[in-house]
């Protein structure tokens, strides 16, 4: 499968790139700073230098033959408002132009969906996100709302809670199970789940929680 990965220089994005290559996919990336990719990765991927906030850069990255998009752009306190939402708008425009159907994305557990089991733990996560993760919480909320409004694209993805370094176990839960602020997943297993969604429609137009 021919993939374009956004956010390839971040912790999750690096896992998406390496695991996609190991799985035999043909990978292109859009990155602002190619030097942040390891030499080994640079030798194995097609690099488009540019910014996900620039519609022309996104269109250029998706202009070649492509089967799916993996979205792993992260947000920190220096990110512009609605970074992920704006980039997703540009991506969807380019996907429609080029007949690309599949979009697999990483959201956030502090963004609730209708299918979630509402518990004390999930309420704490939502409150914590609004109070202490304002920029990220707003962006992921807006991004999810945009996805829900666009059902002509085959989008799906995961919502991790605490995500950090750790081994790829390939054993985790995907769904709308009980979760809390203590729910964890590694970058490696989050990427594994996303890559699995490239060819699996089980969670089509849904965003399940991913956790151990």
In the prediction, which pLDDT does 124 show? 75
Q: What domain range includes position 75?
A: 2-211
Regions of the chain short of the pLDDT cut 50: none
Residue 190 in contact with residue 209, Cβ under 8 Å? no
Plot region of 164 (φ>0 → left; ψ -120 to 50 → alpha; else → beta): beta
User: Residue 43 CB: number of other CB atoms within 10 A?
Assistant: 8
In the prediction, which pLDDT does 109 show? 85
In a 13 Å sphere around the CA of 144, the CA atoms on its Cβ side amount to 21
pTM, rounded to two decimals = 0.94
Q: How far apart are CA 91 and CA 69, in angstroms?
A: 9
- Give the CATH number for residue 32: 3.40.50.720
In the prediction, which pLDDT does 23 show? 97
Number of independent structural domains in the chain: 1
pLDDT in tens, 148-182: 999 999 999 999 999 999 999 999 999 999 888 88
* Alpha-carbon dihedral 93, 202, 3, 64, rounded to 10 degrees: -40
Q: Is the dihedral of CA 145, 147, 148, 149 positive or negative?
A: positive
């Amino acid at each position: 499968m021919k993939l374009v990965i956004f956010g390839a220089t971040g912790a999750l994005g690096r896992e998406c790139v390496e695991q996609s290559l190991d799985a035999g996919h043909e990978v292109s990336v859009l990155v602002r700073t190619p030097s942040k990719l390891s030499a080994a990765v640079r030798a194995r991927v097609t690099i488009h230098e540019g910014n996900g906030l620039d519609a022309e850069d996104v269109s250029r990255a998706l202009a070649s033959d492509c089967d799916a998009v993996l979205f792993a752009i992260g947000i920190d306190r220096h990110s512009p408002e609605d970074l992920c939402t704006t980039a997703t708008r540009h991506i969807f425009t380019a996907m429609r132009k080029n007949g690309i159907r599949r979009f697999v994305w990483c959201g956030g557990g502090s963004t609730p969906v209708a299918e979630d089991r509402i518990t004390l733990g999930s309420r704490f996560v939502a409150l914590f996100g609004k109070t202490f993760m304002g920029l990220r919480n707003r962006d992921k909320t807006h991004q999810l709302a945009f996805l829900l409004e666009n059902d002509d694209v085959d989008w799906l993805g995961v919502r991790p809670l605490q995500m950090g370094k750790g081994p790829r176990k390939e054993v985790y839960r995907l769904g709308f199970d009980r979760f809390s602020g203590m729910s964890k997943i590694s970058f490696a297993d989050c990427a594994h789940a996303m890559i699995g969604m490239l060819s699996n429609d089980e969670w089509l137009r849904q965003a399940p929680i991913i956790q151990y």
